[in-house]
Structures are given as C-alpha cells and as structure tokens.
C-alpha cells in the first residue's frame, strides 16, 4: 500500500472532459486525461483492502461485483502511486487483453465495488487505466508480444467483437494458429460499428487489430460464415471453432407503424453514422441522418445514450429519449447494498450534452410509444406517446408529437439463427447458445462459444473475460485430443 493515509488526505477528482460546446461539433473522442500528479494522488486513495471487492469478478442476482477480468487493482494502484508506470501497465496486461477499450467505454464495475465507495466516492480506477494505456502507447510498451511455440492446431474464431478479439488474442498467445472471420469490412464488431467514435476512436480499434496481425492472428473480412464462407470449409480446415458472433437480433417495436421508414434499430443507425465517418466512399442512408429532424429514442442504456450524442452531432432539431422504467433512485436502495453494482440515477455524456444544447434532460421515464404515424410516402411523421405506471399503460395520457426519426434501443433477442441452426446447436430458453455451467463448450464437439452469443446482451468487459476463458478451454480441449 503506497500511502496508508491517502484515502483520508485526498478527495476523488474526476477528469474534466472536452467542453460540450466544443465536442458536439465533431466526432473526436471527448475523454480527457488528468495530469499525472493528480492521478498519482488518486492512486494513493486506494486502501489495498484486506478483502478487495474491486477485482472480485463475480455477480449476485444478475448484478456485478468487481471487475470480471479480475484485474489486480490494488497492486496496479500501488505501482501507479510509486511512479512505476511501466510496471503498472504490465501488471494490468497480465489479466487484461485490451485496456485501451475499457479505459474509454467501461462503466467501471470495479469502482462500483470499491470499499472506499461504501462511505464516500470510490477510487478513480478507470481514469488510472486510461492513463496507463496512453502512457504505454506513448512510451512504446503497446507493441506485438512474443507467443508460445505453435501447437500445430488451427482455430477459427467467428466474429471480431470484444469476445472474438479477446479469444483470438489469447489463443494466439497459447500457440494456436488463429483465423478470425468477420462479416463487416473492418475488424472490431460493435467496438467499430456499435460504439460511436467520440467514445472509442476507430483508430484505437484498428491499431489493436494490426498488433494482433503482427503477432500472427489472421483476419478474413467481409467473410460471413454460412454465406461468403461455407461452414463446411471451417469444419474441414480447422480443429476447433469459437463462436463470438454477438447477440445481434434487435428487439423492435410491435406497435402500429413500427415498420415505417425511419423506425430503425439503434445499432443500425450508429453503424451508418460511423461508416459515413470512416469510409469516404460511403454516402450513408439519408433517412438515418438526424439533421433537422425530431428524433425519438425508445430505450435507455449505453446504446440509447450514444444515439442521443450522435443525433446532437448530426444537428437534430430535438432529441427525446423514452424509458418505460421508473426513474432510478438517487442513492442505493436497501436491496442494492455495496459491493453490488449501484442501481442509481446517472446522467451520461450524451444526456449532459442534450441538457446544454436543448435546456433539458432528454429522458422521459415511464413513457413509451403507442403508435408511430406515417405520411403518404410511408415515412415517419409523428409518434403517439403514452405514459406508464408499473409498466402498465395509463389510458388517456396519449400525446402526438412530430417525429422524423425513431431509434429503437430496446436491447436484443439473442444471436442470429442462421449459423446456430446450421450447426444444430442447442440453445437456452433465451435463445442464446447453450453451454454447460462453467463451460464454453457447445453441444457440438470442438465448437465453443463466448460473449453475448452465449450469455446474452452484456458489457464489453464481460465479453473480454469470456473470450479469454473460452480460449483457455479450447486450448485445453485441443491438447487432450
């Protein structure tokens, strides 16, 4: 423990991000780094608890306790406090494949379980992780790493989202020959086309993919398995398959007018916005541009917030976000004690931007869409909103509002069925690929699955953890066969 009295001497200091008035004019990252001396003091707040929940890596009743990757956070903070930044980064990389991603986009489950957070504000663990990634990049530590001697086994990883990249990286380090099949034109999955550039610069994702290629991982892009790539080819050429295709079946509105032009899955909208940004030859779909439109976002979470921020940057006339759930409480409820993830009211970057641009929080709780109204050309022109109480509609609260773009951020229904059915895999009651408890092996020998395709829609950090664990199980399987 670097400084036993640090938590009493220093208060939490959060990074000051780029000013809202400046950042909404572009799609550049809004994250800002704190000065090194400030972060050193922040690391000193870590108490090196006798029982540290920040890296517990577990969950209770569906709520996380600590980092799923089991990063040894007290050790990292101690090294940070002592100014041993290279050692701190290496300590982080022993458990974490890609700090550059979570340092930008993770909700920081570790901070939700920080012991200091039981009575005051937790340690700024995420900011320290972000600093260590930037430091490693600037000082040459972020580079290809040597891997174990090749085992002679070939593994195909299907999908290059966080689970696929994590799995491929670890399999490669273990000595397998790995090929990643990605149906999009760039690697990264939702890291590339689901998360906006202002949260995660696509150059950061491309850099990591290039490092992996330099380490020996092969990527096949525009290679949808079951279409451009015959499934029979993979089963014949590879010793094992790991399915990391995500949970990409979007849940859509089942109301009158729900299929009108302009009613769009949120991820489709975000993908379109990113492709316009990174591909100069892609003009984008005109109806998906929020410029001068009244935009309604149905659903909350990170995706809904990202839609708010993207629409503002595109020049939306107005942005409204409906959430059918009640407004969360301001402080922990009795049934949500520390060290569980705190289910409390939070305002994210996109909502802060909407408050500054439009003068009000875009969120309307206990509200949803009863009907989408179209014009004579089949395009959205209005929504009929309705208030709810205890998830039940309140008759007589209907209100018609002008709308030209309706984005659905209501979550996902599981993985797409084509590949799952072609392999004849068993699925759980939610439609996810079924594996035995504590295992990543599917019902088909030599086929494994990880990430959202197996667990359902979840966080990037859980996908990274599952990718590594699936890789280890796949490696063990190959060694025995």
pLDDT tens-digit series, residues 296-327: 999 999 999 999 999 999 999 999 999 999 99
* Alpha helices (runs of H) in 298-445, residue ranges in sequence order: 301-314, 349-358, 417-423
Give the pairing type, strands 63-65 and 58-60.
Answer: antiparallel
Identify the band that residue 51 occupies on the pLDDT scale cut at 50, 70 and 90: confident
Identify the band that residue 447 occupies on the pLDDT scale cut at 50, 70 and 90: very high
Q: What is the pLDDT of residue 399?
A: 98
Please tell me the distance from the alpha carbon of residue 159 to that of residue 177, in angstroms, as a whole number.
16
* Alpha helices (runs of H) in 315-379, residue ranges in sequence order: 349-358
Tokens 């379109």 found at: 272
Contact 403, 371 (CB under 8 A): no
Please tell me the distance from the alpha carbon of residue 272 to that of residue 182, in angstroms, as a whole number.
18
Contact 460, 222 (CB under 8 A): no
Polymer length of the chain: 481
CATH number of 6-138: 1.10.1060.10
Tokens 């359902």 found at: 456
- Quick: pLDDT tens for 148-158: 999 999 999 99
Q: Tell me: pLDDT of 83 over 90.
A: yes
Q: Please indicate whether the domains covering 154-248+413-480 and 263-408 agree at the CATH topology level.
A: yes
Count of C-beta atoms within a 10 Å radius of residue 344 = 13
CATH class for domain 154-248+413-480? alpha beta
- In 223-280 the beta strands, taken as DSSP E runs, fall at 240-243, 263-265
Identify the band that residue 61 occupies on the pLDDT scale cut at 50, 70 and 90: confident
Q: What is the pLDDT of residue 308?
A: 98
Contact 164, 244 (CB under 8 A): yes
Categorise residue 3: left if φ over 0, alpha if ψ from -120 to 50, beta otherwise.
Answer: beta
Residues of the chain with pLDDT > 70, as a percent, come to 100
Residue 257 backbone dihedrals phi, psi, to 5 degrees: 85, 5
Categorise residue 222: left if φ over 0, alpha if ψ from -120 to 50, beta otherwise.
Answer: left
Residue 66 backbone dihedrals phi, psi, to 5 degrees: 75, 180
Contact 160, 180 (CB under 8 A): yes
Give me the residue spans of the domains in the chain: 6-138, 154-248+413-480, 263-408
Mean pLDDT for the stretch of residues 183-199: 97
Q: What is the pLDDT of residue 283?
A: 87
For the entire predicted model, the pTM comes to 0.96
- Quick: pLDDT tens for 233-279: 999 999 999 999 999 999 999 999 999 999 999 999 999 999 999 99
CATH number of 263-408: 3.50.50.60
Residue 388 backbone dihedrals phi, psi, to 5 degrees: -125, 155
Q: What is the pLDDT of residue 474?
A: 98
């Amino acid at each position: 423990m670097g400084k036993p009295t640090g938590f009493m001497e220093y208060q939490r200091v959060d990074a000051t991000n780029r000013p809202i008035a400046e950042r909404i004019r572009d799609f550049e990252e809004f994250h800002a780094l704190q000065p090194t001396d400030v972060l050193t003091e922040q690391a000193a707040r870590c108490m090196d608890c006798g029982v540290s929940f920040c890296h517990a890596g577990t969950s209770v009743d569906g709520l996380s306790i600590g980092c799923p990757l089991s990063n040894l956070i007290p050790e990292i903070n101690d090294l940070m406090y002592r100014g041993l930044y290279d050692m701190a980064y290496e300590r982080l990389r022993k458990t974490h494949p890609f700090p550059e991603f979570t340092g930008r986009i993770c909700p920081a489950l570790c901070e939700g379980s920080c012991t200091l957070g039981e009575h005051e504000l937790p340690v700024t663990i995420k900011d320290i992780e972000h600093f260590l990634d930037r430091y490693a990049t600037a000082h040459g530590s972020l580079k290809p790493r040597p891997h174990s001697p090749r085992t002679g086994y070939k593994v195909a990883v299907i999908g290059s989202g966080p689970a696929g990249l994590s799995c491929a990286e670890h399999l490669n380090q273990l000595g397998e020959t790995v090929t990643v099949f990605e149906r999009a034109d760039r690697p990264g999955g939702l890291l590339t086309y689901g998360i906006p550039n202002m949260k995660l610069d696509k150059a950061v994702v491309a850099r990591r993919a290039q490092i992996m290629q330099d380490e020996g991982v092969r990527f096949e892009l525009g290679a949808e398995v079951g279409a451009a790539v015959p499934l029979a080819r993979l089963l014949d050429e590879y010793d094992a398959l790991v399915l990391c295709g995500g949970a990409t079946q979007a849940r859509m509105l089942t109301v009158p007018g729900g299929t009108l032009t302009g009613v769009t899955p949120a991820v489709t909208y975000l993908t379109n916005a990113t492709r316009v940004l990174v591909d100069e030859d892609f003009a984008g779909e005109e109806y998906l541009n929020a410029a001068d439109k009244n935009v309604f976002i149905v659903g909350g979470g990170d995706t809904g917030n990202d839609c708010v921020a993207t629409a503002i940057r595109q020049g939306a006339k107005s942005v409204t976000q409906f959430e059918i759930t009640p407004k969360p409480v301001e402080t922990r409820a009795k049934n949500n004690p520390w060290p569980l993830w705190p289910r409390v009211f939070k305002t994210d970057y996109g909502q802060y931007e909407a408050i500054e641009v439009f003068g009000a929080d875009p969120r309307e709780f206990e509200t949803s869409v009863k009907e989408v109204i179209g014009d004579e050309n089949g395009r959205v022109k209005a929504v009929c909103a309705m208030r709810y109480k205890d998830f039940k509609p309140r008759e007589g609260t209907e209100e018609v509002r002008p709308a030209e773009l309706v984005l659905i951020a209501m979550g996902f229904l599981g993985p797409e069925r084509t590949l799952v059915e072609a392999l004849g895999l068993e699925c759980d009651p939610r439609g996810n690929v079924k594996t035995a408890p504590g295992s990543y092996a599917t019902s088909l020998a030599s086929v494994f699955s990880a990430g959202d395709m197996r667990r359902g829609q979840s966080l990037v950090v859980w996908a990274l953890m599952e990718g590594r664990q699936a890789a280890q199980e796949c490696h063990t399987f190959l060694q025995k066969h």
